[in-house]
Amino acid sequence: MLNIISNVLRGSANRNGAELVREGSRVVVASRTYADFTPQATFDIKKCDLHKLEEGPPLQAVLTREEGLQYYRTMQVMRRMELKADQLYKQKIIRGFCHLYDGQEACAVGIESGINRTDHLITAYRAHGYTLTRGGTVREIMAELTGRRGGIAKGKGGSMHMYAKHFYGGNGIVGAQGQIFETYNMAALWKLPCIFICENNKYGMGTSVERAAASTDYYKRGDFIPGLRVDGMDILCVREATKFAAEHCRSGKGPILMELQTYRYHGHSMSDPGISYRTREEIQEVRSKSDPISLLKDRMISNNMASVEELKEIDVEVRKEIEDAAQFATTDPEPPLEDLCNHIFSNEPPMEVRGTNPWAKLKSIS
């Protein structure tokens, strides 16, 4: 199909993957419509390691073009959002603790695509990605990081304490997950429909898992609870494993444990440069060989499910969304002083809590 249009620069493209070529005084567009793309494809995925399971998730996954574009965009939003947070932190606009999620995007997006929005989720303090998949907006997340009134926790939670419907936020207390074995036990005794997930990004703060654990088979740590070890850099592996785990729980078989083998590109937090206990070459090798966004992009392009131009257009849209959110997060007002003692209890009981109450009069001493 040929169309003639004017006033278009060389090298641009439309959302259908149209390629523009200048011929003399006119511009001819050689258009690829959506019908030209493969609507869905089946991919071989890595086999999961199993613990106390006779069979595991399938070894193939079906991906539709619509799903692929959605996954690609969401992971790109996460990646760009975290890179912008890095920049704002270094400019001292974001203060305090800040734990970034770039590199682990396939975990949050894959898990969300394998469960229902009505399912309940809680995570540790690397929570930005889950806040997004659970329904938070980029503006709300960025504004929370900068401590502004428009943040998802009204500017009072920061990086570690974000919440959304059916999402109970990040747990910011280091070691607070130490009761995990008691929890395993109770969940197994009562056959609770609970999926336990370890996002094994290879390092606990600045210590590699090999130096910290005599056994790095975290998917077996539930002992009497069945477990899966999953390629956490492949969104299709994570999605299929999560679907399998969810069905296991919903069928009344009790809890299940998943270890997602992934990697974080940043340090433990913004105070950690991330290269004192690992090399730049190690990080670059992961980026070049198993980056979750690149893996999905290559699959879609090589199977004619999207064009390079179409994905570039998504990248442009994402960058604009992030910049708009950052602008909001740096201009939105901070919470007023009179609001800082509120929301301790939902019904604001007339009692003091650690010296504060909803009627406390505060004043700034800055």
pLDDT score of 113? 98
One-character DSSP codes across 145-203? HTT-TTSTTTTSSGGG---BTTEEEEE-STTGGGGHHHHHHHHHHHT---EEEEEE-SE
**Could you tell me if residue 350 is inside a domain?**
no
Residue 314 lies in a domain: yes
CA distance linking residue 158 with residue 169, whole number of Å: 11
- Would you give the distance in Å from CA 166 to the centre of its chain? 16
Q: What is the pLDDT of residue 355?
A: 60
Domain range enclosing 192:
40-334
Look at residue 187 in the predicted model and tell me its pLDDT: 97
Whether 315 is in a domain gets the answer yes
Domain count of the chain? 1
In the prediction, which pLDDT does 125 show?
86
pLDDT of residue 133: 97
CATH of the domain at 310: 3.40.50.970
Residue with tokens 């609001």: 339
Is residue 58 a part of any domain in this protein?
Answer: yes
Please tell me the pTM assigned to this model. 0.86
DSSP class per residue in 44-81: E-PPPEEES-S--S-SEEEEEHHHHHHHHHHHHHHHHH
Judge whether 101 lies within some domain.
yes
Q: Is residue 356 part of a domain?
A: no
Q: Is residue 353 part of a domain?
A: no
pLDDT at 4: 24
- Predicted pLDDT at 338: 78
The Cα-based distances of 189 to 145, 183, 185, 192, 312 in angstroms read: 40, 10, 6, 8, 50
Q: Is residue 96 part of a domain?
A: yes
Task: Identify the segments of the chain with pLDDT beneath 70.
Answer: 1-34, 172-177, 344-362, 366
